[in-house]
Amino acid sequence: MTGGLRNPYLQVLLWTLGVGSALTAIVLTVPWLPQDASTAAHPVDTLYDVLAVVSCYIFALVTAILLVSVVHFRRRHNDLSDGEPIHGNTTLEAVWTAIPALLMVGAAVYSALVLADIEQTKANTHQVDITGQQFAWTFKYTSDGGFRAGELHLVKDTPYHFKLHAKDVIHSFWVPQFRLKKDAVPGMTTDIRVTPTKFGRYTLICTELCGLGHATMRAPVVVQDQAAFDRWAVQAKKNQNLVGGIS
């Protein structure tokens, strides 16, 4: 069993590299994540890709050892013998304790850096106060005259500071294209910082179970240029007076 390609150790190596690389190719070519539309999206996606690629090889290694064992060491019919009485190997055990530990420390440090990056405070932020209640969102454009609307309109490349409020139960603010999420909690104000980078229409999704209408608690998000925003703001202020203002 030790000659050439029949060598089980070699097979494990080849399977790990081959299948690991094939999985990596799939991970990197299939668009798993939605469009990236904020400054946070790119670093988060890169972090995801790095973790996924390392995971591909780890998974390939595990399946390699398992399948090669099944092929090579499967019991022949009526074979009542035992395997080799190997009780352990301290070096090997130290290796598979230390290497995962190092990988994990690396992953944690990298994640912490990305976290600091996507949450950093920027200058000249515009504040929007966002309130969740069963089952609707209200947006108060605090830095732009304080009017209220039922849609979230943002100016591209402008850093925003959203302050989240909840009137009744916990809701959660999520725009998948921004890769950012934060709960809106009754009795306190939570923060989320977003700088949109791509024009488009997105959907704000409530992601914390908030009652029977949870699945319908959505709001349109529009990323536009300053001129379009201004035109919309004029209209929104009028509508606000018509509706009597959403408090």
Partner 1 sequence: MTTGVAAPQHVLTPKRPRSRARQLLLGPNLLRGAWCAVLGAGFAFALVVFLRTVLNYHPIIKGGPIVTVILIASPLFFLVGIGGFDYWWKYMSGAPTEPEDHSGHGARSWKDYFRVNTDHKVIGIQYTVTALFFLLVGGALAEVMRAELAQPGEQIVNSQTFNGLFSVHASLMIFLVIIPIFAGLANFVLPLMIGAPDMAFPRLNALSYWLLPIAGLMMMASFLVPDGGAFNTGWTAYAPLSTHAPLGQQFFTIGVQFAGTSSIMTALNFLVTIITMRAPGMTFWRMPLLVWANFTTSLLVVIATPFIAGSQFLVLLDRSLHADFFQANAGGDVISYQHIFWFYSHPAVYIMMLPGFGIISEVISTKSRKPIFGYRLMALSLLAILVLGFTVWAHHMFVSGMFSWLRVPMMITTMLIAVPTGIKIFSWLATLWKGVLELSTPMLFALGFITMFTLGGISGIMLAAIPVDIHTSDTYFVVAHIHYVLFGGSMFTIFAGIYYWFPKMTGRMYDERLGKLHFWLTFISFNVTFGPMHWVGLEGMPRRVADYAQKFATWNLVESIGAFALGLATLVFVYNFIVSWAAGPRAPGNPWRARTLEWQVSSPPPIFNFDEIPQVVGGPYEYGTPGAVHAVMNGDRAKVAVPVGGDGHAAGSAGNGSGNGNGHEVPHRE
| Segment 1 to 40, residues that bind partner 1, using CB under 8 A | 32-34, 40
Verify binding: residue 62, partner 1, rule CB under 8 A: yes
Verify binding: residue 126, partner 1, rule CB under 8 A: no
Pick one of 145, 200, 211, 245: the residue that binds partner 1 (CB under 8 A): 211
In whole angstroms, what is the distance from residue 30 CA to residue 87 CA?
A: 43
Which 138-197 residues touch partner 1, going by CB under 8 A?
164, 168-170, 172, 174, 176, 179-188, 190
In whole angstroms, what is the distance from residue 87 CA to residue 23 CA?
A: 34
Pick one of 18, 73, 231, 243: the residue that binds partner 1 (CB under 8 A): 73
Provide, rounded to whole angstroms, the least separation between the CB of residue 99 and partner 1.
9
Distances from the Cα of 182 to the Cα of 123, 147, 200, angstroms: 21, 23, 22
Pick one of 44, 128, 194, 204: the residue that binds partner 1 (CB under 8 A): 44
In whole angstroms, what is the distance from residue 99 CA to residue 80 CA?
A: 37
Q: What are the backbone dihedrals phi and psi of residue 131, each rounded to the nearest 5 degrees, phi first?
A: -120, 130
Pick one of 2, 5, 78, 84: the residue that binds partner 1 (CB under 8 A): 84
Q: Are 240 and 170 in contact (CB under 8 A)?
A: no
In whole angstroms, what is the distance from residue 18 CA to residue 125 CA?
A: 48
Verify binding: residue 87, partner 1, rule CB under 8 A: yes
3-class state of residue 206 by DSSP? strand
Verify binding: residue 91, partner 1, rule CB under 8 A: no
| Angle at which helices 41-72 and 90-118 cross, to 10° | 160
Verify binding: residue 77, partner 1, rule CB under 8 A: no
Pick one of 206, 219, 221, 223: the residue that binds partner 1 (CB under 8 A): 206
Provide, rounded to whole angstroms, the least separation between the CB of residue 151 and partner 1.
18
Among the residue ranges 14-22, 49-57, 220-228, 239-247, the one whose residues contact partner 1 (CB under 8 A): 49-57
Token duo for residue 241: 């007076």
Pick one of 27, 59, 127, 143: the residue that binds partner 1 (CB under 8 A): 59
Pick one of 13, 17, 27, 51: the residue that binds partner 1 (CB under 8 A): 51
Distances from the Cα of 132 to the Cα of 111, 170, 174, 236, angstroms: 29, 8, 12, 19
Verify binding: residue 92, partner 1, rule CB under 8 A: yes
